[in-house]
């Protein structure tokens, strides 16, 4: 019994131990299951992160993720795991190969980039350093992507540089406008004879397609010529002023000399007069007490001889004075004569310059500033007399095509011939100026309403009948004319605007015609 009890109690202990051991085992297995679950979730997440590299891999991984959600079917997933393992190995070698190929492509791109000229030195150095770095293999895409970014950045910088350079040298509409204005200005400025060929070459270079450099050079050369002219003008004025100054100094010296001399002579002469007076006094005194006639004769003769000597001295002095004065006057006359000649030349130069400033260099017609002056004069006359005054604006038709077809210098000659024709078709009291380009302005005083159209039609016909011949081709050139008569309370500038509007109409009514604004 005692033994049975002992056995029972031992069995209980064992049972208890077994129970504890099972509990511990259950707990362990639960813990392992949790960890395994976590691992499976991690594998699922990782498989998601691998998505997109390879379609086959993506499908396998999707299947695996599905199986891994069902814990009890985990054994089914083993073949999939093996497949995926194999694909992953293949994928890795494929990625490595791809990365190598991409590195080769990037090196090619860099080689191309290095061939671009005018890359700033700093950027050039960066590019060749980067090229050296590219010789090291990429291990992952994360090595590759920054390199692509770097190349994009290089391209961006090179492009920015190019765009900058391109903008700098591109001829824009505003440059074309400046070229046109410069060309126009060159036609209005009078240059020296030896400068004219250069100016005409510059004008030609500004017409067709030109580079920005040509325009800049043109400005530089023109500026140089103008400065040279100003310097020459200044030198001429200075030379004249030096001559003037020298002459005035000489004249002053001569005058001062002769003044000093005159004072001295005056003093000597005064002294001689005094001496002569004294001698006359002496004569009266010395003869007052003489009774003897012979003694008197002797005394008078002595006194007279002294007086004669004094007079001779005075005469000699005066003669010397005369010679000196004559010489001074002659010197003065020569100096003033030279100065007058010099002044005359200078005046002529000024006058010529003034005249040139009012003449259009190409056509030799009065220019715009001369026109403005004449308009004022005619306007004042009109206000005083109320006689009719007409303003007409004439413009050559399709002149651009003359330039385009036969060249700019033919265009220039055409302008000269037409300008002469216009001038010759007017009376002396009438006036024509080159307003600019291929436009001329006529001022016609004292023409009645009925006469203006025939008059301007004669002018138009005169131009039309000029037998132009370019490149063996007979060409007819026409002009369109618009005219207006000044009316009460109107400014002449307003009359001009009406004439210009009439010209616009003439141009639109197929040109070669006269339109009067009534």
Ligand X SMILES: Nc1nc2c(ncn2[C@@H]2O[C@H](COP(=O)(O)OP(=O)(O)OP(=O)(O)O)[C@@H](O)[C@H]2O)c(=O)[nH]1
Contacting positions for ligand X (CB under 6 A): 187, 362, 395-400, 403, 408, 411-412, 415, 437-438, 507, 511
What SS3 state is found at 394? strand
DSSP 282-331: HHHHHHHT---HHHHHHHHHHHHHHHHHHHHHHHHHHHHHHHHHHHHHHH
User: From the CB of 179, what's the least distance to ligand X, in Å?
Assistant: 10
Cβ distance to ligand X smaller for residue 208 or 448:
208
User: From the CB of 411, what's the least distance to ligand X, in Å?
Assistant: 3
Closest alpha carbon to 463 in 365, 366, 394 = 394
For helices 55-69 and 77-115, the axis angle rounded to 10 degrees is 150
For helices 212-288 and 141-169, the axis angle rounded to 10 degrees is 40
Distances (CA, A) of 352 to 241, 262, 346, 356, 373: 19, 45, 10, 6, 18
User: From the CB of 468, what's the least distance to ligand X, in Å?
Assistant: 14
Cβ distance to ligand X smaller for residue 130 or 210:
210
Say how far residue 325 (Cα) sits from the centre of its chain.
63
Cβ distance to ligand X smaller for residue 187 or 279:
187
Task: Read off the DSSP letter of residue 192.
Answer: -
User: From the CB of 428, what's the least distance to ligand X, in Å?
Assistant: 27
Cβ distance to ligand X smaller for residue 335 or 438:
438
Distance CA 394, CA 434 (A): 10
Cα four-point dihedral sign 358, 360, 363, 368: negative
Cβ distance to ligand X smaller for residue 65 or 460:
460
Cβ distance to ligand X smaller for residue 84 or 396:
396
User: From the CB of 226, what's the least distance to ligand X, in Å?
Assistant: 18
User: From the CB of 470, what's the least distance to ligand X, in Å?
Assistant: 12
Please, which residues bridge with residue 470 across strands? 473
Cβ distance to ligand X smaller for residue 47 or 367:
367
User: From the CB of 345, what's the least distance to ligand X, in Å?
Assistant: 33
Distance CA 305, CA 219 (A): 89
Instruction: Return the H-helix or E-strand segment holding 441.
Output: strand 439-445
Q: Per the structure block, which two tokens stand in for 166?
A: 């391109």
Cβ distance to ligand X smaller for residue 71 or 398:
398
The closest residue (CB) to ligand X is 411
**Whether the Cβ atoms of residue 106 and residue 134 lie closer than 8 Å to each other:** yes
Distance CA 67, CA 73 (A): 7
Q: Per the structure block, which two tokens stand in for 351?
A: 């006058």
User: From the CB of 514, what's the least distance to ligand X, in Å?
Assistant: 15
């Amino acid at each position: 019994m005692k033994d049975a009890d002992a056995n029972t109690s031992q069995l209980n202990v064992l049972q208890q131990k077994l129970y504890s051991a099972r509990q511990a085992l259950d707990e362990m297995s639960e813990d392992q299951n949790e960890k395994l679950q976590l691992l499976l979730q991690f594998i699922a997440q990782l498989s998601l992160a691998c998505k997109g590299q390879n379609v086959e891999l993506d499908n396998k991984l999707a299947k695996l993720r599905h199986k891994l959600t069902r814990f009890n079917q985990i054994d089914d997933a083993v073949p999939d795991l093996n497949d995926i393992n194999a694909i992953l190995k293949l994928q890795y070698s494929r990625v490595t190969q791809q990365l190598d190929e991409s590195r080769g492509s990037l090196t090619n791109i860099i080689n191309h980039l290095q061939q671009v000229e005018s890359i700033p030195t700093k950027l050039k150095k960066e590019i060749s350093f980067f090229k050296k770095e590219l010789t090291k293999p990429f291990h992952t895409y994360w090595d590759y992507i920054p390199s692509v970014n770097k190349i994009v950045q290089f391209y961006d910088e090179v492009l920015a540089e190019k765009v900058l350079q391109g903008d700098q040298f591109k001829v824009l509409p505003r440059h074309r406008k400046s070229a046109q204005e410069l060309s126009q200005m060159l036609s209005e400025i009078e240059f020296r004879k030896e400068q004219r060929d250069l100016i005409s070459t510059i004008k030609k270079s500004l017409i067709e397609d030109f580079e920005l450099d040509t325009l800049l050079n043109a400005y530089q050369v023109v500026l140089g010529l103008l400065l040279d002219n100003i310097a020459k003008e200044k030198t001429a004025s200075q030379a004249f002023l030096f001559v003037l100054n020298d002459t005035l100094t000489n004249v002053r010296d001569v005058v001062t000399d002769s003044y000093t001399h005159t004072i001295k002579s005056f003093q000597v002469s005064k002294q001689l007069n005094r001496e002569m007076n004294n001698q006359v006094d002496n004569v009266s005194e010395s003869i007052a007490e003489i009774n003897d006639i012979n003694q008197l004769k002797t005394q008078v003769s002595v006194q007279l001889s002294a007086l004669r000597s004094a007079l001779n001295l005075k005469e000699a002095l005066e003669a010397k004075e005369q010679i000196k004065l004559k010489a001074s006057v002659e010197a003065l006359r020569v100096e003033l004569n030279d100065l007058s000649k010099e002044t005359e030349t200078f005046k002529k130069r000024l006058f010529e310059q003034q005249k040139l400033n009012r003449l259009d260099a190409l056509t030799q017609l009065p220019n715009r500033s001369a026109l403005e002056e004449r308009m004022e004069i005619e306007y004042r006359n009109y206000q005083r007399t109320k006689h009719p005054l007409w303003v007409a604006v004439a413009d050559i038709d399709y002149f651009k095509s003359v330039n385009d077809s036969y060249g700019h210098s033919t265009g220039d000659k055409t302008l000269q011939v037409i300008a002469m024709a216009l001038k010759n078709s007017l009376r002396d009291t009438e006036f024509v100026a080159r307003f600019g380009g291929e436009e001329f302005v006529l001022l016609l005083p004292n023409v009645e309403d009925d006469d203006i159209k025939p008059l301007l039609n004669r002018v138009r016909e005169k131009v039309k009948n000029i037998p132009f011949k370019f490149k063996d081709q007979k060409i007819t050139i026409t002009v369109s004319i618009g005219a207006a008569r000044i009316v009460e309370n109107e400014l002449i500038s307003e009359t001009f605007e009406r004439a210009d509007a009439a010209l616009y109409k003439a141009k639109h009514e197929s040109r070669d015609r006269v339109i009067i604004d009534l």
